[in-house]
Amino acid sequence: MSGVDAAAKAAVPSLQGHKPLDVQGLLSSDRPLVEIYDLAVVDLDGVVYVGPDAVPGAAEAVARATGAGLRMCYLTNNASRTPDTVADHLRRLGVPASVDDVLTSAQVGAALLAERLPSGSRVLVVGGEGLERALTSAGLVPVTSVDDGPVAVAQGFHPDLTWRRIAEGTRAVRSGLLWLATNLDLTVPTPYGAAPGNGSLVGLISTATGRQPDLVAGKPSAEPFLDAVRRHHAAAPLAVGDRLDTDLQGGRAAGMPGLAVLSGVSGASDLIAALPDRRPTYLSADLSGLLDSHPEVRVGPGDPVQATCRTSHVAVDGGVLSVLAPGDNPVDLLRAACGAAWAWADAHPAPDGRPAAALQTQEVLAACRRFETAGAWAR
């Protein structure tokens, strides 16, 4: 049994036991990932689309992956839209999707509250339709005022959230009600760059009340990934996303291997400096990585640390990451850089006991930028 096959099969007991994945480096595979995993738990913003537009090539990659038998669960921290609205958006972009393929942080949050509250309980909503519909489907009653007698507060992102609604949420939280946040992402991607996300809005209420949310539903919690596995009865799931601090960290917490794509938030410098609980097990430019085999990253012993991936060769010496041979592919170069940087960081822990990232990576980033296909991720 190859190492990648073992990792896929090992995900099953890990998920059942809620044990985080302990693989620290990048895995290799002689076969495409669609032949190894039976469910891809895929983030949306920055992976399938950015704002209203599809990531180039995403629809084609998903169609080919599903045609090869890989099931998709689209897991999003964005609580503003309903699953049917998300599915409609995906289909308009040419991505095959049904309502049952979509799982939002609003749905996960509503389920968490329904486990804790009697059916018919009133919940003050600091959010929009996506959260209101999820609460209703879970047997709870969304309200907009403390005067309506809520027993809990649910807060989720919505682009038209008003100051008055945030103020009413502050009033409810200050009174001591159970407070759930669908997620704590500080930013959301837009075609014009990062904008304030639900975590920033949660921070407003937290600052005004001196409290933190009692429950957080979305990524990087393991719960939404475990929910996706239960819904689809998966045996070998794979987390797929662009953000290390939500998609990859959450998948790893749930025991899943993870594919990081370079079409969204996290770039080359983020990957090179990734701490162990955020590291992916595979790396690709975009969703086409589901259809590809993945080359081995060879990390040599000793100090300086050297790593190769096909024709790319790098070294870390004294915290400086250098390119010995850039090779023929920017993603291979980045794979090699991650292998060397992670090995060096793990061998040189910081005073607080956490691994230290390789300190200087400019040469690798400059080499990535020289490739025509590198794009904005080479930062």
Query: Catalytic positions, please?
Result: 43, 45
Q: Which amino acid is located at 17 in the chain?
A: G
Q: Which tokens is 222 given?
A: 């393991």
Q: Which amino acid is located at 224 in the chain?
A: P
Q: Is 58 helix (H, G, I), strand (E, B) or coil?
A: helix
Question: CA 41, CA 221: separation in Å to the nearest integer?
Answer: 14
Q: What single-letter DSSP state applies at residue 79?
A: -
Q: Which tokens is 288 given?
A: 């086409």
Question: CA 128, CA 116: separation in Å to the nearest integer?
Answer: 22
CB of 66 closer than 8 Å to CB of 337: no
Q: Which of 188, 221, 175, 181 is nearest to 204 (CA)?
A: 181
Question: CA 304, CA 175: separation in Å to the nearest integer?
Answer: 57
C-alpha of 136 from chain center: 27
Question: CA 218, CA 227: separation in Å to the nearest integer?
Answer: 11
Q: What single-letter DSSP state applies at residue 338?
A: H
Q: What single-letter DSSP state applies at residue 319?
A: T
Q: Is 365 helix (H, G, I), strand (E, B) or coil?
A: helix
Reported residue count of the chain is: 379
